[in-house]
Structure formats: C-alpha cells, structure tokens
Amino acid sequence: MRRLFFVLAFAAFVVTGVFAQAPFHLRAGSGLVLDGGRLGSHTFSQLGYSDSAHTNAFGGGGFFFFDLTYVELSAGLMTGPFLKHWETIEPGLPTESGTDGIFILTRVELSLLGKIPICIGMGDSVLFPLFGAGYDFVLSLSDGGRNAIAGTALAPSDLNTFRLKAGLGMDIQTFSRTFFRASVLGYYRFVARYFRELAPAGAEHHGGFGAIIRFALGWRF
C-alpha cells in the first residue's frame, strides 16, 4: 500500500509538471478542514442468513500545507464521530439492526496532490484541478475515554487507510503576498484491516466514498 502511495505521488508530480505552464512559486498556509464519508463495509450471505455492516466517520480540525505551484503537500489533525450500522437476517426470525454507540475517532492525515493552475480574472486568482493520494494515521478510537478496540487483537493503527482524491481548488489574492484558499475534494477510501478482521469469514469487503472541504489562509514567498 505504501509503495502504491509513493508511485501515485510521483506520477502526480510528473503529470502536473508536464502540463502546467505557470512559474514555480512557494506557498504555505493553514486553515480548517471538514471531512466525512464511509470508512468501509462488509456483506455476508449464506443459506438465507445475511450479515452486513457499514461505518461512517465525520470530523473536523486543522491542517497546514506547502505548495510548489504544481504540487501541494498537506498534513491535518481531525477528530469526530464514528458510527457503525449493522443488520442481521436469519430465516424465521425478525430482522435485527441497529447503530452502535457513538465513538470518537482521532486521526492524522498526510496528503500529496498534483495541481494544474489556471489563472482567471486579472490574474490575481487561480483555479486548479487537484488529484493525488492521502493516508490516514489513526491515533485513537474511544467511547467516553474507553478505548473501543481494547479487548481485541486490533489496534488503532488497523484503521489506517489509503485514499485516492480528486477535486477543485481556488486561490484568491487578498494582499500582495497573502491569499485565501478554498478546495473541495471527493475521495475513495480503501478497506482497512479493521473491517476485514471484524467481519465474518468469507464476507465481501468494500471501501467507501466521501468528501473533504478545506478553507485556509496562505502566504506566497
């Protein structure tokens, strides 16, 4: 997985370097991020019995970024609710379903995105498609201070996930060297070990889709 991350990151750098025509400018900044979507799911069916579950996570926090015209490197710290919904169907019995208690998921994400800058207006604003990859490092999953993974063979790191991202961003110059940045990204998240280990043997595993909204203030060097 990590090897794939670096391959895609290098590809993003090369492709944007080939097609972008703007001069290099080093930029940096920080801001707020909102992130939500499906973490993963599984489905299992056999002889009329079926078991399915999916998990969603929503969070917010802060991030900072470094930008070299064609490539953006960012890191963020986010926390928010983690919800698991499940459903079990057995022949001759009522369908059982429910949502587990709300857990709090805290994670750090590293992201590397390629950019294709397009100047708009009088040249003081830039619109740019974004595409690349990110990796989530989960620090904790807790419920009222209790580690939700305690008592199992799993660790918070088993929730670490790799994501492919694509979206659109915009820089609006505010003063000679400062700018406001806004971006919206969609992503696909690959299945983490956490979901494979907790699902029944033989279950089908699926990743999940989600979206990210970011707002930041930056400085152009």
Between the CA of residue 132 and those of 44, 56, 64, what are the distances in Å?
32, 22, 17
What's the residue count for the chain? 221
For the cut 50, the answer to whether the pLDDT of residue 28 exceeds it is: yes
Q: Number of structural domains, the chain? A: 1
Query: In the predicted model, is pLDDT for residue 18 greater than 60?
Result: no
9 pLDDT higher than 80: no
pLDDT exceeds cutoff 70 at 10? no
* CATH number for position 100: 2.40.160.20
Mean pLDDT (the chain) is 86
For the whole model, what pTM was predicted? 0.83
- Evaluate whether 81 touches 55 at the Cβ level (below 8 Å): no
* Owner of token pair 């920080």: 30
Least confident of 71-80, 116-125, 152-161, 175-184: 116-125
Helix (H), strand (E), coil (C) string for 165-190: EEEEEEEEECCCCEEEEEEEEEEEEC
What pLDDT is attached to residue 183?
98
Q: Work out whether strand 125-143 and strand 161-173 pair parallel, antiparallel, or are unpaired.
A: antiparallel
Is residue 123 predicted with pLDDT exceeding 70?
no
Give the pLDDT confidence score for residue 6 in this predicted structure.
53
Report, as an integer, the average pLDDT of 102-110. 92
What pLDDT does 13 receive?
52
Concatenated DSSP letters of 73-109? EEEEEEEEEEEEEEEEE-TTS--EEEEPPPEEEEEEE
| 8-state DSSP, 176 | S
- For the cut 70, the answer to whether the pLDDT of residue 3 exceeds it is no
Tens digit of each residue's pLDDT (9 = 90 or more) over 185-206: 999 999 888 888 877 788 888 8
Q: What percent of the chain has pLDDT over 70?
A: 87
**Contact (CB, 8 A) for 219 and 184:** no
**Residue 19: what pLDDT?**
46
Q: What is the pLDDT of residue 169?
A: 97
What does residue 6 show for φ and ψ, rounded to 5 degrees?
A: -70, -35
127 bridge partner residues: 118, 170
The reported pLDDT for the residue numbered 134 is 95
Contact assessment for residue 72 and residue 115, using Cβ atoms and an 8 Å cutoff: yes
Domain that holds residue 185: 2-220
Structure token pair of residue 59:
């969070």
Return the biggest CA–CA distance within the chain: 71
